[in-house]
A and B are shown apart, each in its own frame.
Chain A
Amino acid sequence: MAAVTTSTGFDEATLRRLLERGGAPDGVRERAFEQFQAMPMPSPETEEWRYTDLRDFDLSSFLPSAEEPFAENLDGVAPELLEAAGEIGERSGLSIQHNSTLVTAHLDPEARARGVTFTSLDDAVTTHPDLLEERLHHAVPTVRTRFTAMHGAFRTGGTFVHVPAGVDVRFPLQALTYVDADALAVFPHTLVVLEEGSSLTFIDRYVSPDLERVFSNAVVELFAGPGSRLRYVALQEWGSGVTHLSVQRAHVERDAEVRSLAVAFGASLARSEAETILLGDGGSSEMLGVYFGRSDQHFDHRSIQDHVGSRTSSDLLYKGALRGQARAIYSGNVIIRQGAHQCDAYQTNRNILLSERAKADSIPNLEILSNDPVRCGHAASVGPVDEDTLFYIRSRGIPEAEAQRLVVTGFFQEVLDRVTLQEVRGSLEATIATELEREASERLSGRGAEAHAV
């Protein structure tokens, strides 16, 4: 369990303690701390924070860190952590962050021999000082919001990956962030740097039991060098009680391809920003999203597809189902910059509402500053399961609950069909099936209660 922590909050004393420990290039924490102190909480009066009001979110109620012992290798890792990491089939490496500590980062010796680095950010500061100087907080600057500033000042843990030019990492690398200390603030950070012509699959997984109150303030920075190929998956499976704020931003250079998948099943409140900037000519981006909300979960998804280079393409498909009183907001922006010629951009968000009290909003936006896009468009929908489809299915003898299950499973299939990682797809299918089973049994018991009341 967590070692006793002496910190009282996000103050100068904590900052000083972290500075002694290192974990960031010189001056980074101090600058971020100044920004953190100077910046107000984001206001719901701004468009960006209109749907997630955190003005009353009390940062001082969280502990800045809970340190855990390091493990020499995977054998030294607690079994419940390994179990939480889940089965993802073959992998080239696994790192585990337990509360505030990156307890282990294991990399396949073959990958290491080819020059791949997979380590904690703390170690990377000493092993790759120049790279960190150049990249850390460069995709997601600390000055972006009070939360990213807080992250920059108080981050502990975090994972760093570097793949040298021309190297294909055969199997996925996986990073698990596991929290079981209540009232803790954690700062998961993933920094991935792919050099020219390399390729990698990286899976971030956020897991916890149900907790009273935890704050996850996450940053993901992805740098895809020229002609590289990156697949990035974020599986957000926090327990209830967690407030998860994340910013993910990918820099895509010439002819590089970044395909990302954002999965949100957990947390009480999750606000996830996913951005891709297509800097070089010929780059491409695919952004997939799957979310399934229940009880009073709140999901706020924001995305940006920013085309700077010519002949760049981006395609976004986010699909979510909501039951109970869950709430989802999707707000997406496609930008085609002046001078970005013959770009192709599309954005689709679809929401299926399984209860009358669930609510979703979809807000697409296009900013086209170039006069010759090949294609640029968006599609959005919010609604209950289609009555005609239900009747058609039921007319074949399939009862209502199962008909509903078929429709919703099919609804997600369009995204799942594009998830090429077998194990990730299998895990998604299983979670969706479990949610639908719960939905069906809650309906039955709800109905039973109604019948009883009559």
Chain B
Amino acid sequence: MEQMQTVRESVKRTETAALEISGLRARVEGKEILKGIDLVVRQGEVHALMGPNGSGKSTLANVLMGRPGYELTAGQVLFRGQDITGLSADRRAQLGLFLAFQYPTEIPGVSVVNFLRSAYNAVKSEQISALAFRKRLKEKMNMLGVEDAMVNRYVNQGFSGGEKKKNEVLQLAVLEPEIAILDETDSGLDIDSLKAVATGIQQLIGPNLGVLLITHYQRMLNYITPDHIHVMMDGRIVSSGGPELAHELEKKGYEGLRKELGEG
């Protein structure tokens, strides 16, 4: 753990910022949900984003990934210095952005392995053979403890909550993005699955990956120590700090923090 931290620290200084969000405001169905977000996530960093239900965390994740139906009213999102707000989701993914969904979607009739191979080819601009891809996939599966049967099933169809989240992490591992947004990848998991998923993510974290980890739970942060913690309330980041902020929150709750901020 200690060692990994130092590696990341050293990289931070040499790498340029990867994802820069400034003054971001967005509306959904005419209602303003994001009310001015400023956040920078660099390759090699882990940022945790916490906040009460409905505060806008998933909205931010979706806006960053370019989901249709979200209206940007102000601000910008730079990725490697380029404004990506006008780009389609597939272009963003090709540039190196990834979103692990809070509620992954089913793709009936399309197997995980075929889906992932298409995605791999699109993101890497390759035409990898089915055999070569199987081999690559197998390595990642072994690392994450994913069963063979899962990748032959249709994407998320009939998957348990835990299997869906594992599948998101498998995709993350195969596609090797530079910045990944993980939206509650730890929710809906039993203790063993949480451990498997968290250690999987932990292994992927390194100098080439920046993570925005959306979570409600300290238990995830026991496995993955974030460099920064941000608290979102009502569409704004109201507080940022180091790992200690999570413990503070655990004690006070969001109500406590809200009061403190209100007073301060």
A-side interface residues toward B, CB under 8 Å?
386-389, 391-400, 402-403, 406-407, 409-414, 417
Do the beta carbons of A388 and B105 come within 8 Å of each other?
yes
Among residues of A, the one whose C-beta sits closest to the C-beta of B124 is: A397
In the complex, what's the smallest C-beta–C-beta distance from A75 to chain B, in angstroms?
40
Per DSSP, are chain A's interface residues mostly helix, strand or loop, or mixed?
A: helix
Q: Does B254 contact A (CB under 8 A)?
A: no
Q: Contact check, B89 vs A414: say whether CB atoms are below 8 A apart.
A: no
Can you report 18 residue pairs joining A to B where beta carbons are below 8 Å apart?
Answer: A386-B105, A388-B105, A391-B67, A392-B101, A395-B65, A395-B92, A395-B98, A395-B101, A396-B90, A396-B93, A396-B115, A396-B123, A399-B90, A402-B122, A407-B110, A411-B108, A413-B154, A417-B109
What residues of chain A lie closer than 8 Å to B109, measured between beta carbons? Answer: 409-414, 417
Contact of B175 among A387, A397, A399, A412 (CB under 8 A): A397
Does B190 sit at the interface, judged by CB under 8 A?
no
Closest B residue by C-beta to A414: B109
Instruction: Check A396–B119 contact: CB distance below 8 A.
Output: yes
Q: Is B185 an interface residue (CB 8 A)?
A: no
**CB-CB nearest in chain A for B157:** A410
Q: Does B107 contact A (CB under 8 A)?
A: yes
Query: Is B264 among interface residues, defined by CB-CB distance under 8 A?
Result: no
Which residues on the A side are within 8 Å of B154 (C-beta)? Answer: 410, 413
CB-defined contacts of B250 to chain A, threshold 8 Å: none
Interface size class of B (residues with CB under 8 A): 20 to 34
Given contact pairs A387-B68, A412-B109, A393 touches B115 in the complex (Cβ within 8 A)? yes
| Residue interface bits B92-109, CB-to-A below 8 A is 1, else 0 | 111000110100111111
A414 to B110, CA, bound (A): 10
**Interface check B73, CB cutoff 8 A:** no
Q: State how many angstroms separate the Cβ of A387 from the closest Cβ of chain B.
A: 7
Answer yes or no: B88 CB below 8 A from chain A CBs.
Answer: yes
Contacts of A387 in B (CB 8 A): 68
Q: Are B88 and A394 in contact (CB under 8 A)?
A: yes
The complex places the Cα of A387 from the Cα of B107 at a distance, in Å, of: 12
Additional 4 contacts, C-beta under 8 A, given A399-B90, A406-B115, A414-B109: A393-B107, A395-B98, A396-B175, A413-B109
A421 to B: closest C-beta gap in Å: 19
Q: Report the minimum CB–CB distance from B19 to chain A (whole Å).
A: 15
**Interface: B53 (CB within 8 A):** no
User: A409, B110: Cβ atoms under 8 Å?
Assistant: yes
Question: CB distance B106 to A402 under 8 Å?
Answer: no
Task: State whether B90 touches A403 (Cβ < 8 A).
Answer: yes
Q: Which of A387, A395, A397, A400 neighbours the largest number of chain B CB atoms within 10 Å of its CB?
A: A397
The contact of A406 among B65, B66, B107, by CB within 8 Å, is: B107
The 6 closest A-B pairs by CB, nearest first: A413-B109, A410-B109, A397-B93, A396-B119, A397-B123, A392-B105
Complex CA gap A79/B157 in Å reads 46
Known A-B contacts A387-B68, A391-B89, A394-B90; the reply to A399 vs B107 at CB < 8 A is: no
Interface presence of B118 (CB below 8 A):
yes
Residues of B within 8 A of A396 (CB): 90, 93, 115-116, 118-119, 122-123, 171, 175
User: A395 contacts which of B99, B108, B116, B118 (Cβ < 8 Å)?
Assistant: B99
Contact B110 A413 (CB under 8 A): yes
Q: Which of the listed residues A394, A403, A407 has the most CB atoms from chain B within 10 Å of its own CB?
A: A394
Chain A proximity mask over B203-224: 1 for CB below 8 Å, otherwise 0: 0000000000000000000000
Q: Which residue of A lies closest to B69 (CB)?
A: A387
Most interface-central of B66, B104, B107, B116 (chain A CB within 10 A): B107
Q: Are A410 and B68 in contact (CB under 8 A)?
A: no
Q: Please, which residue of chain B has its CB at the minimum distance from the CB of A402?
A: B118
Beta-carbon nearest neighbor of A388 in chain B: B105
Nearest B-chain residue to A389, judged by Cβ: B105
Q: How far is the CB of A144 from chain B (nearest CB, A)?
A: 37
In the bound complex, residues from chain A placing their C-beta under 8 Å from that of B89 are: 391, 394-395
Which residues from B are CB-within-8-Å of A414? 108-109
Is A391 touching B68 in the complex (CB atoms < 8 A)? yes
